[in-house]
Structure 1
Amino acid sequence: MLCLDHHNQTELKGGFARKLGPDLVRKYRDEWVATVTRGRIEIERRLNEQAQRLPQYERSFVDPSATLGENPALADYLDSLPDLLLATVRSLRTDLNSGVTLDVVMSSGEVVSILESMWVRLARFYADDHFGDDPGGFLSAHLDEQLKWHSRLIEADGAGSGGTVVRVPLSNRNVEAAAKAVEDIADALLGLSCKSTEHVHWMARWRNAVDHRAEDWNEHSWPAPSFPAS
């Protein structure tokens, strides 16, 4: 729960009790938990707003009620996700490309938080308790295993052998894993009920956002799909 500077203070000149005491560590922990909670509430608010105001020309699903039957809200929500991810990447682009380890890791963590919130909300379209009592915990366990996998691959000489520099590629892998989790659950929810052209259109928009090519995307890049008259 501590940043690098505060963690260092627990070990220098006398150790934990003398440099950075337990009470202060608990204070930092509580502040961090409160910050994360506020951040998740804000993310949920942004997700709700984005789902409501996406222009028709940017939508992948022309007729949500026809596309997903009893779940037009799912089509509306899915339509908003690529733009929301692009907006997130744009807002964090300076830190993501800074080359400063801490900035890259922290900004990547913000992207992962957005992606996790997307996944948890999509999980609500499944039956109750489909992912257990805590869908977020279910996802976290999956991402943790992915992170362990990549950590073992990157640090050939053992855990910690790569130093702090490995945190950057691990952060990138974490973003990729979280983005793939959102893509997978969206793909599963769309299933056979979605027209293939709409499905492909949404997937193209999503992968474009994941690739962080925000400057190459505009409202004309992915025109709404057209269908032959029935």
Structure 2
Amino acid sequence: MAKKKRVPIPDDIAAEILFISDRTCCVCNIRGKQVQIHHVDEDPSNNTLGNLSVLCFECHDQTMIKGGFGRKLEANQIFKYRNDWHERVRNRKAKADEIASIQTVTGSTETVIVNVINEEDYLNYKTYDDPNLLKDYLDKILIVHNAQLTIARTKWDTGVTMTMNQGNYDMVDFYEEVLIELSTFYPKGHFNNLTPKKYFSELISSRFLWNRLVLEPHGVGTGGTIVSTMTGGSVMNDLKHMIVDMVNSLLFPYEIDEQIDLDKWRDEWLT
């Protein structure tokens, strides 16, 4: 059988599959691993979105036939893993949006943030220019934050790696949504001309990769299972401080720096 010619995956399709997969392997679901886009039917010319999945290098190796033995991951298995993972990512993001959105936190019906999934939707993405709304959000998000931390601590206290990781991921999703909400007080297109969801998705994925690499100085995969938990904790800390930086920058142009005690707000947020 003639070998099928590889056709480069178009940039927009590659970006879309990475985004809806949260740049995370759909099989092992461990964030921070290096990943690649896999053609499930093994036809390198079939670049349709439905034929692509995101796998880490280790899981991708299991799709190969080696030494005369059959592959460990068949196409139908990958499809099931992928579809399940995509649904979990959608539900996770929707839950974080429901918890941390400006509309939920403040009760504002002035505008509703659009759940953008591609650049065309950015035309409908709404921004805010209301200092009172920003102040109200900052006051109330502290209460929501404390509640989310309480829930996450019940998972961290189990001592079970998978459950502890889920607590980290829940908080990372929450912080990502807060960053997205704060970004709506910036001009449209401000963040590298990307939608906030795409911008922060890429940024957070890079922080997972960076922190995981730092935590394994003797080589990738040498740190054991605890590395995934430590990586999630480091990313959480990164995002918490990014939010403080954004709040600090937003207070002055909106002239509400005198209405909010930034030091007190920051101390409570970082507790």
Asked if structure 2 preserves the Cα contact closer than 8 Å seen for 1:52 and 1:76, the reply is no
Partner of 1:201: 264
List gaps (5 residues or longer) in structure 2.
1-25, 31-57, 109-128
Asked if structure 1 preserves the Cα contact closer than 8 Å seen for 2:62 and 2:71, the reply is no
Partner of 1:3: 28
- Which amino acid is 1:204 matched to? D
Whole-Å separation in 1 of the counterparts to 2:243 and 2:130: 21
**1:51 is aligned to 2:51:** no
User: CA-to-partner distance for each residue in 1:64-109, whole Å, 9 max, x for gaps?
Assistant: xxxxx94211111111222112111111212112222111112101
List gaps (5 residues or longer) in structure 1.
54-68, 209-230
Asked if structure 2 preserves the Cα contact closer than 8 Å seen for 1:51 and 1:79, the reply is no
Partner of 2:4: none
Partner of 2:83: 30
Partner of 2:224: 163
**1:134 is aligned to 2:205:** no
Partner of 1:57: none
User: CA-to-partner distance for each residue in 1:177-207, whole Å, 9 max, x for gaps?
Assistant: 1111211111111136211762223222212
Asked if structure 2 preserves the Cα contact closer than 8 Å seen for 1:81 and 1:206, the reply is no
Query: Secondary structure of 1:92's partner?
Result: helix
Within 5 Å, give how 1:1-230 maps onto structure 2.
1-3=26-28, 11=62, 19-47=72-100, 48-52=103-107, 70-131=130-191, 132-191=193-252, 193=255, 194-195=257-258, 198-208=261-271
Asked if structure 1 preserves the Cα contact closer than 8 Å seen for 2:179 and 2:243, the reply is yes
Q: What TM-score, normalized to structure 2?
A: 0.61
Whole-Å separation in 2 of the counterparts to 1:151 and 1:46: 28
Query: Secondary structure of 1:158's partner?
Result: coil
- Which amino acid is 1:117 matched to? E
Query: Secondary structure of 1:3's partner?
Result: coil
Asked if structure 1 preserves the Cα contact closer than 8 Å seen for 2:212 and 2:228, the reply is no
Q: Which has the higher helix share?
A: 1
1:197 to 1:110, Cα distance in 2 relative to 1, 3 A: closer
User: How high is the sequence identity, in percent, across the aligned residues?
Assistant: 23
Q: CA RMSD in A?
A: 3.2
State the Cα distance separating 1:41 from its structure 2 match: 2.1
Query: Secondary structure of 2:203's partner?
Result: helix
State the Cα distance separating 1:113 from its structure 2 match: 0.2
User: CA-to-partner distance for each residue in 1:38-86, whole Å, 9 max, x for gaps?
Assistant: 2322322223333239xxxxxxxxxxxxxxx942111111112221121
Higher relative contact order (CA 8 A, sep 6+): 1
Whole-Å separation in 1 of the counterparts to 2:179 and 2:187: 15
